[in-house]
Structure 1
Amino acid sequence: MIILGLTGSIAMGKSTVSRLFAQMKRPVFDADKVVHQLQAPNGRLLSAIGQAFPGVIDEKGVNRQKLGAQLLQKPEGFRRLEAIIHPAVVEELHLFLRKNRSHPLVIVDIPLLFEAGFTRSVDYIAVVSAPYWIQKRRAVSRPNMTESRFRGLLARQWPDRKKRQQADFIIENGRNIIALAAQVRQITGCLVGQGSR
C-alpha cells in the first residue's frame, strides 16, 4: 500500500482534488471531515474542547464561529486546540490505514500535513497549489471569511512556496477541472505499481 499525503494551503482546491481521487476509487482519509465528526454532537472531543474553551459547545457540537472568535482573541489557544485534536486524528488515521491496507494506493488528505508533523505517516506528498490571486478570491468568497481572517489563517500555515519545495508532486490548480483531473490520473498512474519508500 502506498500512502499519498495530500495537502495545500487554504483555498487551493485540495478538497476538489481529494474528490477526484475518490472518484477514481482510491480510499481517501479526509482529516477535516474527521475533525468535524469529532466535534459534532456526541463527538468524543466535545468535553475536552468545552473545558479548554468555555462557551463554544452548543446543541450542534462545537460552535466553530465561537471557537474561531476565541482563537482570534487569544491565538495561543491554537496550540491547546491542536493538542486535543491531533492525537485523535492520528488514531483515526491508523484505523483508516488498517481498514484499507489491501488497496494499492490510499490518499491522506490533511491540510496541516507539514505543520502538524504528519509527513512521517505518508510515503509521498502531493501539494495542491494555485496562484495567490486565485487562492485569495476563492478564500474570501467563502461564508464568514474576511480578508483579515484569510491572512490570519495563511500566517499559521507554511507558505505555498515552502510546501512546493517539499512535495513529490505538485498539483497545479489554476486552470480547469479537466486539467486537474489529468494531473490526478497521472499521479495515480505513477504511483500504482510502485512500492512504498
Structure 2
Amino acid sequence: MVSENELNDILLLNLLKADDEKAFKYIFDRYFSPLCRFMYLYVKNQQEVEEMALDIFTYVWENRATLEIKLTFKAYLFQAARNKCLNNIRDRKNTCSIEESGYDAYLEDTSVEVNELNRIIEEAVLSLPEKCGEVFRKSREEHLSNQEIAKEMQISVKTVEAQITKALKMIRKYLGETYSYIW
C-alpha cells in the first residue's frame, strides 16, 4: 500500500518532469528551511548552508527529466544535503587560506619566541669563561670539527670535547627549566 506522502511525491516528480514550475516552487517552499536547519548541524555558517541548499534545488530543477526518487522527496533532499555537507567539510579540511588557518599569526609568534631564545642563548654563551666560549663558538658558529678546533687553538681534541661539554652544561643551567628541552 502506498502512503499519501509517497503519492504526493510521485505526483510532484511527474509534474517536475513535465516542467511544472509550481510543483518545483512547492518543493522549494516546503523543504528549503528544514533543509537549511539540518545542514547547519554540520556546517555552522548560515550563508554557506543556504548556498549549498540552493545548489541542491538547482540540481533538482536542472536534472528534473532524469531525476529518480527511490523513497520520498524529503529523504532524497536530506540525503543530498548530508552528502553536500560532508563534501564541504572534507574540502574545508583539505584547503584553507593561511589567514583562516592562523598560520601567519603562528609564524609571527614563533619568530618572536625564536628571537627571544636566540638572545638568551647569546647571553648564556657570553657568560662562559673565555677559552670555553671560544671553543664553543668555533664548534657551533663556525662549524669546525673538534680536530680543526684543536689544531687551530693548539690544544688536544680531549680538551675541546671537555670545553664543549662544560659550555653545554653552563648554557643549560643558564637557560633553566623553561628551555631545558633545547639541550
TM-score, normalised relative to structure 1: 0.24
* Greater RCO (CA < 8 Å, at least 6 residues apart): 1
Q: Which has the higher helix share?
A: 2
TM-score, normalised relative to structure 2: 0.25
Q: Which has the higher strand share?
A: 1
Structure with bigger gyration radius: 2
